[in-house]
Each structure stands twice: as structure tokens, then as C-alpha cells.
Structure 1
Amino acid sequence: MAVSVTLPALGESVSEGTVTRWLKAEGEHVEADEPLLEVSTDKVDTEIPAPASGTLSAIKVAEDETVEVGAELALIDDGSGGGAAAPAAEPAQQEAPAQQAPPAPQAEPAPQQAAPQQPAQPEPAAQAAPSGGGAEGTDVVLPALGESVSEGTVTRWLKQVGDTVEADEPLLEVSTDKVDTEIPAPSAGTLLEIVVGEDETAEVGAKLAVIGSGEAAPQAPAQPAPAQPEQPPREAAPAEAPAPAQPAQQAPPQAAPQQPAPAQAAPQPAPQQPAPQQAAPQEPAAPRPEPTPTAPAQPTTPRAGGAEFDGAYVTPLVRKLAAEHGVNLSEVKGTGVGGRIRKQDVVAAAEAAKAARPQAPAAPAARTTTPAEPSPLRGQTVKMPRIRKLIAENMMKALHSQAQLSTVVEVDVTRIMKLRARAKEAFVAREGVKLSPMPFFVQAAAEALKAHPAINAKINDDGTITYHDVENIGIAVDSEKGLMVPVIKEAGNLNLAGIARKTAELAKKVREGGLGPDDMSGGTFTISNTGSRGALFDTIIVNHPQVAELGIGATVRRPVVVDHPELGETIAIRDMVYLTLSYDHQLVDGADAARYLADVKARLEAGEFEGELGL
């Protein structure tokens, strides 16, 4: 029977999605809940699982095509013909011709199928457990993920029903329009019930799952006590697990004389239907330990990625990233739950390999520079990543809604560089973080914002102006995903040490992928360190809806004419930097920008930070 694969609802405001990649080809076998394809929307990139096991018979929507929610994406032939239950019942009738009446064999194999299912704990059993809703225990709810986030989509469950979880252990992954994050377990115990499935959207505060003491999940199939000797035969696990097998519990004694006869049917491994019949003859054979070693059957679980990797499950997105960086997944140690390899692990492995690579060509000592390695993207046409699309939309919105221009000043930061050199060792020992030049610029910028409210403001849609009473300064950071702008809240009330600690904390979150929605929201002014890669200055685009952004160029040592109190005008080697203020001319005039930059320049060149540095 053909099972339709449709595009599920991926959020209340999402009406369509684009197929970015098929993980299976027509004619390939797929398992239920195995990732089948990748879909991208304007809010999230996600995987669509297979709704049933079988053969992918037809792909209806090709890669890079966009369809509406509910559209048919593919067809899966589950091999059942007219129905799923009929093929399982027919072999049972053929294998048990000695029974008194045709209805009796259908009732008798039922306990034989249900009994081996309990010890094997297969995936179908885990999925069936939630149907016993109303499990009592600790509710897992969707927490607040930011002041403007009202809902989230469950992208992946890291645990299944019946699994043991520890308190604060990652339980599931949730995606919102601002951030992808993991939800931890609120308590230790057993996952009794999953209320919200993968790719389903729930509101903040909604019940996602139930965690209990650990006894409730297996109680329903645990009534047949004689099932324990049947733990070894795991081939019977994928068989259907009809729960209404309890009325026929007294029938096995009648079926016992028949079980030696079907033992001859065991050499038929090809069809999947004999699986329930194998479970039945193994019931009286439990005392024999020799024929039970079925452990080698465990590695047969299919995996979404390539067959060359035999580790834990790896998402296709991680496999694609590994292929792009030339990383061998079998050599990567996963830091995720249960050793799962995450994108951060692949990036770290690629960086480690890149760092080790230049050590080999040490022979040509005369040449100190090497040409840059060609990018693997040369000559390719690829789909724009979602984060890049969002950045592009924001940049175009900022340019089209603001009258932007830039003003540049030159600042002598020699005194600050000397203060930093004197204080950096003691600062690390005292504060636990390194002292970079950035906190000096942030503090000077925040202090000047208090005196120039037009720089720290926004223009509302109704034509009014809001002058902020707090200096929440965003720090533009170049990351693996793209441009990220985490925010230092109330920077105007922090000293150098506080700014340095907060900057280090946010930078670590950017590197390790731990930024939350609150870390990225609420900014009133932005600073971009464009000089970190050597640029002298940059005409930056303002981070809308803010009205100004400060760019810091590279600090360069060069000869400068200075007015010395004893020597008069003379030439000296100084540390010089360009500061650029881009601003919205609808609210900020050139004179406003010049006055603001003059105050920042004066604060930095005076370099009066000795008290905060303990000098």
C-alpha cells in the first residue's frame, strides 16, 4: 500500500517550504521515522522523517522546489498490498493448520508476538507507549526562549519513550525563529510519554512530555511474566505489537505442540512476515542457550548517512559539513548526548586539521608566506543558507528604510595599549579573563551615548522617536554560521572588568553555538570590530532599527606628528586607529556624529583607566 509523505506544518506563520536535499533516492528502503529529506523555510531548516517503513517508490517534489504545507512530497510502498495487518495474519494461519478453527490461530499467535516485544524494547514499542496517555509524573514544558518568542517547533527527540534520563540531560531539540536550542530534562527518571512529536509546533508553556519513576512505561506489555526467558531473540522486535493479546493468554499451552514443527521455517529469512513465527517457536526453546546468540543482528539498523561510518547516528547536515571540510567522521569524538557528533565537533576537527597542516611544509625557509588554499566552492552554484538569507534581508531593509552615511575620525590609543600591557597579567589573575582592547572602546562608547541621546535612539513606525534610557551594546561577531550580534546588556553601568567578562562570555557562546534569543535581542547600539582582520576602516551598515553603529579599525603603529610639552612638534611612533560612525541621517546629523566621535576620541586618548585596572 502506498503511504503519502506530506509537508507538515512547521509553524503557524509558515505556509511553504523548499526541498533542499533528498536523503534517499527512489527505490531505496527506508525505516519509519528515518530522516527522508531536508526542508528549508524562512524560519528553520529541518529534516522530514519517513511516516512508515518500506520502499521510496516515487519522489513528487524535486530539490530546490517550493511547495505549500500539506503538499505531497513522495510515496512510500510499505509492501503490505491491501493493508498492513492482513499479511501478518495469513502466515499465522498457514503455519498452524492443526488448530481447531481459523479464528483460533489468529488469537494464539498474538501472545507469541507480544511476548518477545517486551525485552527487545524496539522503536515500535517506544512509539506505542505514548498512546497510553495520562501518564503521571513530572511534566516537561516548553520554556520561555526570549521575550518575543511565543512558540517553538520540536525538531528532534534525543530520547524515546522508555529511555532513562538524568536531570538536566538534553531531552529534545527545539527551533524558533531566532535560535535552535536543546531542552533539558527537569528531573531524573524514565520518559513515560511524548506529547508533542517531531516537526510539531507548541506554544511556550505547553506540555511536551512526561517523566516518571521508570516503572510506568513498560507496565502495559509486562503482564506475561514468562516473557523474560525470551530476551535473546531480537529478530522478533520489529514485528507488529498488537496490544489486545491479553484475552488469549491461556491459548499458548494449546499452541505448544505445534512450535517444534514451525522450527523448520526458520531458514526463511527473506520475508519480514515470518518474524512473528520465529518468535513463537523460540518460546519453548528458551532453555537452549546455543541458538540464541542474535546480538550480531543489532548493527543492521539503517542509518541516514553513508555506510562508511559505523558510529552513532549523525544527521545529514553534519555529514554534509564533514564532507565539505574533508573530515573523517570515524575519527571525530562526539560531544553530544550519547556521544552524538554535532556540527561544532566537525568544525573543531576541521580547524585542528588545518592547524596541523602548515607544520609539514617547513623546508622552504626562505619563503615566509604561502598562497591561500583554493576554496572548494570555486565553480559551484549552491543554495543560499537560511542565516545568509536573513542577514541579506536585514541589510536591505536597513538600507531601504534609512538615510545612511558615515563619519571617520583618527584616534591615538598609545596610552591605552601601554596600560593594557602593564595590567594584562594581573587582570587575568584577578578577573579570570584576558584584557583585550575591546572593553576600552565599549566603555568609552557607552559613556558618550549618555551625553548624546540621538545616537542611542530609534525611529518608530508612527513617526515618534524613542530615546533609550539604557545602553545595550551589540558586538558584531563573525561566526561559522554568519554575522552574529550578541548584546552586552546595560553596558553603560559596567566597569572594564564587567565588560571584559561579558564580552568573553558572549564570544564563547558564539564559538560553541550556545547563544540564546535573549543574548541576541534588546540592542540599542552596535560596535563592529572591522579591524580584527586588518581593515583600516569600513563604512558599515547600521543594525536596523538602531540609528547608529560604531566601527573600530585596525590599530597600526606608525610615525605621527605630536605636540610634546618640552620638545614641541616632533615625530613619534604611535598606536593609531580609525573610528567610523555610520548613522541614519533622518535623525542624526553630521554635527551630531562628529560631536559623539569627539567625546569617544577624547576619552580614549586621555586613557584614564588606571583606577579600574588597579595601577
Structure 2
Amino acid sequence: MPVSVTMPRLGESVTEGTVTRWLKQEGDTVEVDEPLLEVSTDKVDTEIPSPAAGVLSRIVVGEDETAEVGSELAVIAGEGESTGGEAAPQKQEAPVEPAAEPTAAAEGTADQVAQEEAPAEAPAPAAAPSGEGTAVKMPALGESVTEGTVTRWLKQVGETIEVDEPLLEVSTDKVDTEIPSPVAGTVLEIKVAEDETAAVGADLAIIGVAGAAPAPAKPEPKPEAKPAPKAEPTPKAEEPTPGMSYNEPAAETESSTQPVKTEQASQPAAAAPTPPRPSAPAQGGGEEAAGYVTPLVRKLAAEHGVNLSTLNGTGVGGRIRKQDVLEAAEQAKAAAAAPAAPQQAAAPSPAPAKPAAKPQPSGKRGTTEKLPRIRKAIAKRMHESLHEMAQLTTVVEVDVTRIAKLRAQAKDSFVQRHGVKLSFLPFFALAAIEALQTYPIVNAQLDLDGGTITYPAAEHLGIAVDTERGLVVPVIHNAGDLNLGGIAKRVADLAERTRTNKISPDELAGATFTLTNTGSRGALFDTPIVPTPQSAMLGTGAVVKRPVVVNDPDLGEVVAVRSMVYLAMSYDHRLIDGADAARFLSAVKERLEAGNFEPELGLA
């Protein structure tokens, strides 16, 4: 019996999600709890497992499309049931056959006329179904995203495209991404040009019916055998056009297909050879290697024996695309076929590898590039946060020598008992939580318009985590109920799941106070920007050993080597006075310098 896969509720405040990637395609078998697709919300990206075993018979929501919580995403049927996807191609092939028959009946004077008429009739089914073609729409790439800008078309009018093959690149104020084709077919129309902006849901292009792609593929052998001189000059004429490129070298891949708009309209048979062509300019590559690779690209790389780490991607942000892998595979075949080529090919292969490391730090020197929309959004939010609050930073210096000695004594037993390493961060967190309970004004929230101050009933501690996607802040809810070991385990667990993109949306919301470990990268201290609606944020600097004047009971003031750290707290001066901030930091300082954590570590 068919089982419906629905959009789960990925958080209390989450009402919808965007399908970012299907890990299975129609007709694939899937097991229970096997990852089926990836879903992105405004708070988290996660995998959705299959609720049942069977065959993925139908995908209802395509990639980059948004669906509400509870709506149907796909249907999983038993292996014996029909996928239901074969009826469409039969309907599409029906008009193609009658279109060829009347032509043969009316123009039966000569074989040459029939051959010339056949390609002329081929565009008719592709153009006629423009009303029946599939519209590629601007997807919702975030809850607050209302529009996107087309940065580059990866396919041009008249070119064929496969399901899930990248069609264009889109930029929003939060993300730059590739939009895959929802169906296989031919690009009939491009409605939004490059560098133009379209609202979410607007039509970007029209893809011809899936049956239009195989139709021209069948006549290919005939034109190649007889009118070979006609088919070959067209690709040769297109090759010089990469000179019409964009500012980026990788853009030559797409610019080389622009003149095909007029030529392929009259000779659709030439559309089939076009997909391999973009691989030739890919030698220019992107400047940076992509960190994320789609399953399709990984599969192609495995099939052709291509090492992805040696490629320079031409996609958004240097992402490795299908064309890059195919181009690398063709180069490898050419090198293996030529007897003298291996020596020449072996020399260039290390050559790009050496410059590949250098362009990353130095390739942008002396250049100007367009501000990414995501960086523009971050700048806007930081600016608003600074101007919405009257932010002030207070810094204290703390001697954590006793804590350093306790860590050395208890580190082995702590790992055995709790399963995580003991760092300085849990000590800072516990001291801050205890100080928040004593001085709740630092944990409060100000509503100036409503004229209220809200004191939360618990301490929900946000921990800033550095990830490949940027800074993410998971939250330890009810942190005041945890001891040192509990905080250490929660910090390690949240940090690991945040970096592996397995954090839930509810764990990223609700912080009342945030702790950021700026010292993890060697910084002595900084001035954190307080995220609204919180009122304060504590930054911990690097723990360093240096000579300090200490007051010894027997020797008086002496100079000794101590482990020192700076604690910098930024706060909303509209709500928190400087004296309140000083009292809070003094409480944290006294708790840390006292070093009375033996009971927490099992050393008492």
C-alpha cells in the first residue's frame, strides 16, 4: 500500500521547509529510516528518513521548492506497484509520430526534402508544448526571502537538459545556489535574464516536455551519416565564441552557448552535442575548490575515476559541477590514448595543483568584486543591532591558574566519566550561569516600546560555534539545572551536531545570554555584538601564561607565572548600568579565581 512522505515539523515555530536535495529518485528502492531527502528551514538543514520500505514512486515537491508542514513530499509504493511515471512519455510521443506522418505524406517528392523537413518539424513539438512545458520558478530559499537575482544561466535556449542537472545560478541576500531542472527536456524560453531580479514564485524559464529530449536524439544517426557536413560546421562555428565571456573565467562555459539561440532554432539536431561542450572551457576552472559536492557529481567521479580534490569547480562559490567531472574524464582519456601525451599531461597536472593553493590568498589582490548578498545581509543585521542598542563593553582580567591545575589533575578521569574532554569553557559557562542567577538584570530583555522588562524564569545559554557555513549559536536550555559535567557534555554535543548540520531548529532559538570563545583562535579579547533580543554577551579570550604580581601570604607581593584570561562582556546600556556589568563580571571573576570545583570534578 502506498505510503505518503510528509513535511515534518522541525521546530515549534517552523511552518514550512524547502527541499534542497533528493537523495533518491523516482524508481529507486529505499529502506526504512534510510535518508530520503534533505530539507532546509530558516533555522536548520536536516535529512528526512523514509517512513517505509519500497520504491519511490512519485516526487511531489521538487528541489528548491517550499512546502508547508504536513504537506505531501513524495509517495513510496511497494516494489510490485507501478511508478505511474510512464504515462507521460507515451502522451508526449503520440503527437510526435503524427507530426512526422503528415510531413512524409505531403512532401514525398524526394528523400532530401523529407530529411530537411524532419528537423524542421522537430521544433514544432518542442515549441508547441510551450503551454504544456514545465515552468521553472524562483524557489523560496528562506522564510524571509522574497526575491532572487539570476547570476548565470548554465543552459541556453534550445539546449537539452536532464532532471536535476543545474540550470541556472541564483543569488539572494542569504545564499548563492544552483537551481536544478525539475524535468528533462529542452530549454524553450528564458524569461529572466542574467543580473535581473525576480520574485519568489515567478517563472524563470520554460522547459519542454521530457519527450522532446529523446525525439531529436533518434534522428541524430541519420544527419551524421548523410548531412554530416551540415551538422559539423555548426559546432565549429560555436567554438570561437567563448571569447564573449564574462568577468569570471568560469563564465565562458555559459557564454559559449549564447549564439546557439538562433542556430539551434533551425537545427535542433545540433542540440544533442551541446552538453559536452561546456567541459572544454572548464579548464579555466574556478578559483576555489568546492567543499560541497552533490551525489550526482560524486557518482560520476567514481564511475570515471576522477579525483574530486584535484578539480577546480566552475559552480557557485567554486562548487564542482557535472561538467567539470566530465571534462576531467575526457582529459584523462586523451592523455591515456596518446603515446607521447602522458609525459606532457603529467607535467600540467602538478602545475595547476601548485597555483591552486596560491590563488586562494592572492588571486583577489588588486581586484574588485560584487558584494555577495549574504554578506550584505549580515552587514545590515550587525549595523541594526549596534544602532538599536546602546552597546558598551566592560573587560576584566582573571587568574585561572587554579582551574588549569584542576584540569591537569582531572582530565583523564573526566573523560572516562563523561566521555568528553575538559576545557576551560565549561568553567566559564558555569561561573556565568551562577552570576546570572545572582544578577538577573543581565539575563533580562528590554521592550522599550511596550515599556517592560522581562526576567526569564531560566538561564538559556547560547554557545557560539564556528562552522564552515559561518557562526551558528545553539542553545543550552535550562543551563542553570546542569553541573560542570553536564555543561561540558552539552557543549560538546551541541558543537558536534552544529558542525555536522544535525542540530534541530528548537536548539537554535530561545537564548537569553550568549557565550563566545574568541580565544579559541588566539584572540586576547574582543567586543562582541549583542544579538537581539538578548541584553548581554560574554566573550572569553585566550588563556596565556605570563608573569603577574601576586600577593603571597608569606612573601608578600611577588612576581609569578600565572595562567591569565580576559573576559569581555558587551551589554545594552539602556537596560544594564556599568555598575551592574562590573558586579556581574566581578562575580564571575571571583568564582573562577577561587577554583572551588573539586566536588564537580570528583576530586574532593
Say if 2:416 is the partner of 1:429: yes
Q: Give how far 1:308 is off.
A: 10
User: Is 1:182 equivalent to 2:170 in the alignment?
Assistant: no
Aligned amino acid, residue 331 of structure 1: N
Q: 1:164 aligns with which of 29, 42, 51?
A: 29
- Supply the distance in 1 between the matched residues of 2:77 and 2:386 (Cα, whole angstroms): 53
Change (3 A) 1:161 1:609: same
Q: 1:145 aligns with which of 10, 17, 31?
A: 10
Counterpart contact for 2:444–2:454, Cα < 8 Å = yes
Alignment counterpart, residue 508 of structure 1, candidates 477, 496, 502: 496
Describe the shift of the 1:393–1:275 C-alpha distance in structure 2 as closer, same or farther (beyond 3 A). closer
Task: Rate the CA distance shift 1:447–1:571 in 2: closer, same or farther, 3 A.
Answer: same
Partner of 1:445: 432
1:428–1:506 Cα change, 3 Å: same
Give the match's secondary structure for 2:445.
strand
Distance in 2 of aligned mates of 1:221 and 1:373: 48
The question of whether the paired residues in 2 share the 8 Å contact of 1:318 and 1:342 is answered with no
- 2:228 is aligned with 1:379: no
Kindly tell me the number of residue pairs found equivalent between the two proteins: 392
**Residue 509 of structure 1, CA deviation:** 2.5
SS at match of 2:90: coil
Match of 2:567 among 579, 597, 600: 579
Aligned residue among 394, 402, 417 for 2:381: 394
Q: What's the CA shift for 1:273? A: 3.9
Is the CA contact 1:547–1:587 (under 8 Å) kept in the aligned structure 2?
Answer: yes
Q: Structure 1 residues 320, 557: CA separation in 2 closer, same or farther (over 3 Å shift)?
A: closer
Q: Which stretch shows the higher mean deviation, 554-563 or 178-187?
A: 178-187
CA contact (8 A) 1:161 1:217 kept: no
Asked if the contact 1:305/1:319 (under 8 Å) is kept, the reply is no
1:160 Cα deviation after fit = 2.2
Q: What per-residue deviation string (whole Å, max 9, x for no partner) do you get for residues 283-317 of structure 1?
A: xxxxxxxxxxxxxxxx99958985799xxxxxx99
Superposed displacement of residue 202, structure 1: 1.5
Q: Provide the secondary structure at the position in 2 that maps to 1:577.
A: strand
Query: 2:454 aligned to 443, 459, 466, which one?
Result: 466
Taking the aligned partners of 2:316 and 2:416, their CA distance within structure 1 comes to 33
CA offsets per residue over residues 27-67 of structure 1, 9 Å max, x none? xxxxxxxxxxxxxxxxxxxxxxxxxxxxxxxxxxxxxxxxx
1:585 Cα deviation from its structure 2 partner: 0.8
TM-score (normalised: structure 2): 0.57
How do 1:90-101 and structure 2 match up within 5 A? none
Q: How far, CA to CA, are the matches of 1:191 and 1:379 in structure 2?
A: 51
Counterpart AA for 2:91:
P
Say whether the 8 Å CA contact 2:292–2:319 is kept in structure 1: no
Output the amino acid matched with 2:600.
E
Counterparts of 2:468 and 2:276, CA distance in 1: 27
Maintained 8 Å contact 1:344/1:512 = no
User: Is 1:331 the equivalent of 2:307?
Assistant: yes
SS of 2:591 mapped into structure 1: helix
> Is 1:242 the equivalent of 2:218?
no
Distance in 2 (CA, whole Å) between partners of 1:219 and 1:395 is 51
Q: Which amino acid aligns with 1:599?
A: A
Q: Which amino acid aligns with 2:493?
A: E
CA 1:155–1:301: 2 relative to 1, 3 Å: farther
SS in 1 for 2:563: strand
Question: Does 2:484 correspond to 1:496?
Answer: yes
Q: 2:80 aligns with which of 202, 209, 215?
A: 215
State the percentage of identical aligned residues.
Answer: 57
Q: 1:611 to 1:456 in 2, by over 3 A?
A: same
Q: CA deviation at 1:344?
A: 13
CA deviations over 1:207-262 (Å, ceiling 9, x no partner): 1111121222347859xxxxxxxxxxxxxxxx9433898xxxxxxxxxxxxxxxxx
TM-score, normalization by structure 1:
0.56
Opposite residue 491 of structure 2, the aligned amino acid is T
Counterpart code for 2:445 = K
Distance 1:566-1:512 versus aligned 2 partners, 3 A rule: same
Larger helix proportion, structure 1 or 2? 2
1:170 and 1:304 mapped to 2: Cα distance?
34
Q: Distance in 1 between matches of 2:576 and 2:376?
A: 29
* Maintained 8 Å contact 1:171/1:183: yes
2:532 aligned partner, one-letter code: H
Residues 372 and 343 of structure 1, relative CA distance in 2, 3 Å threshold: closer
Change (3 A) 1:378 1:153: same
Alpha-carbon distance, 1:425 to partner: 1.4
**Is 1:606 matched with 2:594?**
yes
CA contact (8 A) 2:45 2:502 kept: no
Aligned to 2:361, the other structure's residue is in SS state coil
The structure-2 alpha-carbon separation of the partners of 1:520 and 1:425, relative to structure 1 and needing over 3 Å to count, comes to same
Deviations 1:482-511 (A, max 9, x none): 222121222211111111111112222333
Q: Structure 2: which amino acid aligns with 1:452?
A: Y
Q: Secondary structure at the match of 2:402?
A: helix
